[in-house]
Structure 1
Amino acid sequence: MDPDHHNLSFVLNKPGDVTYEHRTIPQLGPYDALVHVHYTGICGSDVHYWKHGRIGNYVVNDPMVLGHESSGIVVSVGSNVTSLAIGDRVAMEPGIPCRRCTRCRGGKYNLCPHVKFAATPPVDGTLTKSYALPEDFCHRLADHISLQEGALVEPLSVAIHIVRQAKIKPGQSIVIFGAGPIGLLCCAVAKVFGAVDIVCADLSESRLNFAKSYAATQTYLTRQQTAEAAAADILRTCGLSEDGVDVAIDATGAEPCIQTSVHLLRTGGTYVQAGMGKSEVVFPIGALCGKEITVKGSFRYQEGDYGLAVEMLAKSRLSVKELVTNVVGFDEAETAFWNVSTGKGIKTLIKGVDVVDGPT
């Protein structure tokens, strides 16, 4: 086989149809680095493409390599690279913006209309042996941070952006709906930012038990009831102020959670929508206006979020290794998609091609 084509990749051909293929090893520009991918986590968007072949207007029309939550080791660098060396261990930031538009120049490159984001059609993802990135999108990991932990820098950056959107201040209270990886990481980041009451709400008792042991100060098992009743019950059973909480974050996309979040807030509180569900929902606009609530969306991460995630791990401000509940080989990659789709564990990682057992 031509060595330039010896780049084994996990490819989605159409919904439910995946294959392993050898792709061309990327050619490096002068400011690029080639990374041997060691670990890749799977999230809900990956599973959605695997199951349905599309998310909104992003449609898989041609075979596409999946994966975007990755870490690895630099194996080659371009001629003008100065910040990286062969052998560096890095977390891989998977969205490359144009750097020239108004959004990019303002630091909000997550909103760049020309961004090329891994495993978002038609851009190939990171479930491949070798992946190329600009040097400034390869974030070096501290020596004591494993590459398994490095693969969780991507979802941690998502959580950091969500909590920064909420503008959490020391001493504040927050309710987070969803005890999946993003909701759990929001709990951890909110704690670092100084929140004192951190309630995690979810349908799964086992996940709530994990949330309590991880970063939440309290948990709430959701059940079927009106949004107003649920909000009142959360405030009462969790011993929160009857006036409401400072911040509510929905990391589920479920309409009842969205509605309950608004009713949970105090006057002047802040609501952040992080989870993606139906494109349109019934929203309690009366409560929104009457309490003059600030509402924000959150999309991926922007300038400084990835760097802050790496720094938090380096300085042990929080930990992510507890979230890794399963690691599978590259030849078992589809198992990770089944695990996520069925809610098995918290975070499943896929080892890269030719990666031996154990965190590195």
Structure 2
Amino acid sequence: MAQETFASKISQSLNRVSSRNGICGSDVHIFQVPFVKVPTATTPDPLTGETLPITMGHEFSGTVVELGEGADGNKFPVGQNVIVEPIFSCMKASCGACTAGTRNLCPLVNCIGIGGFGGGLAEYITVDELLVHRLPDGIPLDIGAMLEPLAVSWHCVKRSEFKPNDTVLISGAGPIGLFLLKVLRRELAQEHGATLVVDPLSTDVVNATMKATDGLGVHIAFDAAGIQATMTAAVQSVRARGKVVNVASWEKPPQIDLNLCLLKEITILSSNTYTGDHPDMLEAVAAGRFAGLEGLITGKVALDDVVEKGFNALINDKDSHVKILIHP
């Protein structure tokens, strides 16, 4: 019944060829130990009705090769390069999250390439027109495949209510952490915009942060790492009435010192994927506000090498890789 309800909400579809697909941190977690919403071989996703195996990939760009009946050929002509906003939800009138325009918070929310509906590692995929966005002219498909995690960071910065001249701590130098730097639009002091880079294995993050902020602490601490040490440092590093923003998925929920949060009146909030953020983000991309994104691409791999040069490279050589793209 849930599957029929969801299907009834799909108005048009686009057949398209997947050209570039980025490997997400969530993909790596699923590859190792599934802990996000993944169907099993016997338990289907409640919306897609699919069980394993599922074709993976939710960070992808591609080119329209065929239109479904009723699709907007003016907006999406054959040959148009596009990106996909991969999250889908129940879209039921009884769902408070979906009706409020926050389908990213629907209890049944999932992603193309995780819950089913094909995935970016497929040669071809059919996608609901409502989830497709034109790639701005002049933006290559490689960059297009990186705009899904950029949207995650864009939404996160909006949630934080960041203001110019706010000081910020970002824990986690993976794709989301580096995209956060891009969205925050700091002046380039180091390669991707950080004014201070600290190795948490050899340096006390809290002391370094306090020293850099004249003992006040930062206005906002973003946790894009998802480990206990980074959350602890985030709470300790924000100033009075500062904010801690969680944008990480946790295998084990962290412990948070609520007494310290009380004494400093810290605001703790979270950011989950995105909702309605793509148009503004793509406008900013088209305006050239995210120069240098190609520098975050540390590998381009053929589909046959996706395990060894894709997943295993990200697992075993984290220091050398940020974003690896797969060409299906």
TM more than 0.5: yes
Shift of 1:126: 2.1
Shift of 1:166: 1.0
Paired position in structure 1 for 2:28:
47
1:331 counterpart letter in structure 2 = D
Paired position in structure 1 for 2:148:
154
Residue of structure 2 aligned with 1:269, choices 242, 251, 256: 242
Shift of 1:59: 4.8
Is residue 98 of structure 2 the alignment partner of residue 104 of structure 1? Answer: yes
Shift of 1:350: 0.4
Q: TM-score, normalised by structure 2?
A: 0.86
Paired position in structure 1 for 2:326:
350
Is residue 247 of structure 2 the alignment partner of residue 257 of structure 1? Answer: no
Query: After the TM superposition, which parts of structure 1 deviate over 4 Å for at least 4 consecutive aligned residues?
Result: none
SS in 1 for 2:281: helix
Paired position in structure 2 for 1:328:
301
Is residue 14 of structure 2 the alignment partner of residue 33 of structure 1? Answer: yes
Shift of 1:285: 1.3
Paired position in structure 1 for 2:6:
none
- What is the RMSD computed on CA atoms of the aligned residues? 2.0
1:67 counterpart letter in structure 2 = G
Paired position in structure 2 for 1:14:
none
Paired position in structure 1 for 2:312:
338
Residue of structure 1 aligned with 2:183, choices 176, 186, 189: 189
| Structure 2 unaligned blocks of 5 or more | 1-9, 42-51
Paired position in structure 2 for 1:313:
285
2:193 counterpart letter in structure 1 = A
| Higher share in strand | 1
Higher mean displacement: 63-72 or 75-84:
75-84
Percent of pairs with identical residues:
30
Residue of structure 2 aligned with 1:142, choices 136, 146, 158: 136
Paired position in structure 2 for 1:233:
208
Residue of structure 1 aligned with 2:191, choices 197, 210, 213: 213
Shift of 1:274: 1.3
CA distance in 2, matches of 1:77, 1:122: 21
Is residue 44 of structure 2 the alignment partner of residue 69 of structure 1? Answer: no
Is residue 109 of structure 2 the alignment partner of residue 115 of structure 1? Answer: yes
| Structure 1 unaligned blocks of 5 or more | 1-28, 199-210, 353-360
Distance 1:332 1:89, change over 3 A: same
Q: TM-score, normalised by structure 1?
A: 0.78
Conservation of the 8 A alpha-carbon contact between 1:220 and 1:234: no
Conservation of the 8 A alpha-carbon contact between 2:227 and 2:250: yes
CA distance in 1, matches of 2:116, 2:252: 22
Shift of 1:116: 4.2
User: CA-to-partner distance for each residue in 1:4-28, whole Å, 9 max, x for gaps?
Assistant: xxxxxxxxxxxxxxxxxxxxxxxxx
CA distance in 1, matches of 2:36, 2:137: 40
Residue of structure 1 aligned with 2:220, choices 247, 250, 272: 247
CA distance in 1, matches of 2:125, 2:103: 21
Conservation of the 8 A alpha-carbon contact between 2:118 and 2:125: no
Is residue 198 of structure 2 the alignment partner of residue 223 of structure 1? Answer: no
Distance 1:161 1:50, change over 3 A: same
2:156 counterpart letter in structure 1 = I
Shift of 1:154: 0.5
Conservation of the 8 A alpha-carbon contact between 1:60 and 1:122: no
Query: Aligned residue pairs: how many?
Result: 301
Distance 1:95 1:56, change over 3 A: closer
CA distance in 2, matches of 1:143, 1:164: 25
Conservation of the 8 A alpha-carbon contact between 2:198 and 2:205: no
Higher mean displacement: 121-130 or 157-166:
121-130
